Amino acid sequence: SHGNKEVFSCRGILLAVQWFWNRGHKDITVFVPSWRKEQPRPDVLITDQYILHDLEKKKILVFTPSRRVGGKRVVCYDDRFIVKLAHESDGIVVSNDTYRDLQNERPEWKKFIEERLLMYSFVNDKY
């Protein structure tokens, strides 16, 4: 949301990570589809892409799999990665997604998502 739905803002990811890090949370994992590593297209803008690589080197960011089949991008369902890791590690999910479909997929995830989902917003560069 940091990019106002106009661009994918990597700086927004960094601001969120820094907000939690500064409050003593060191076990932070960010999931981003691997196609975000690619050269941006005019219709899919991305800013400060180097931040993704820096966070990956620090083992904070994990790229979820994607590939091309017949010229089309095939991506995994990264929401499942997010909820599964948070549930297994007794963490929280920071997202504005409600994960309704995943709440119905596994009964243990429903209660977890209801209680451990932290939604957020940006005001300019304030997380």
pTM equals 0.84
Q: What digits encode the pLDDT tens for the residues 24-54?
A: 999 999 999 988 887 777 777 888 999 999 9
Q: How confident is the model at residue 43, as a pLDDT?
A: 75
Predicted confidence band at 57 (pLDDT cuts at 50, 70, 90)? very high
Domain presence at residue 127: no
Identify whether residues 19 and 33 lie together within a single domain.
yes
Range of the domain at 88: 77-119
Identify whether residues 97 and 49 lie together within a single domain.
no
Identify whether residues 89 and 34 lie together within a single domain.
no
Domain presence at residue 60: yes
Residue (of 73, 14, 16) closest to 47 by Cα position? 14
Identify whether residues 83 and 110 lie together within a single domain.
yes
Residue (of 84, 76, 83, 87) closest to 97 by Cα position? 83
| Alpha carbons 19 and 35: distance in angstroms, whole number | 26
| Alpha carbons 35 and 117: distance in angstroms, whole number | 26
Predicted confidence band at 119 (pLDDT cuts at 50, 70, 90)? very high
Mean pLDDT of the chain: 89
Q: Are 50 and 11 in contact (CB under 8 A)?
A: no
CATH number at residue 17: 3.40.50.11980
Identify whether residues 15 and 54 lie together within a single domain.
yes
Identify whether residues 6 and 50 lie together within a single domain.
yes
The four Cα atoms 31, 34, 39, 44 give a dihedral, to 10 degrees, of -60
Q: Who has greater pLDDT, 34 or 55?
A: 55
Identify whether residues 66 and 81 lie together within a single domain.
no
Q: Are 1 and 126 in contact (CB under 8 A)?
A: no
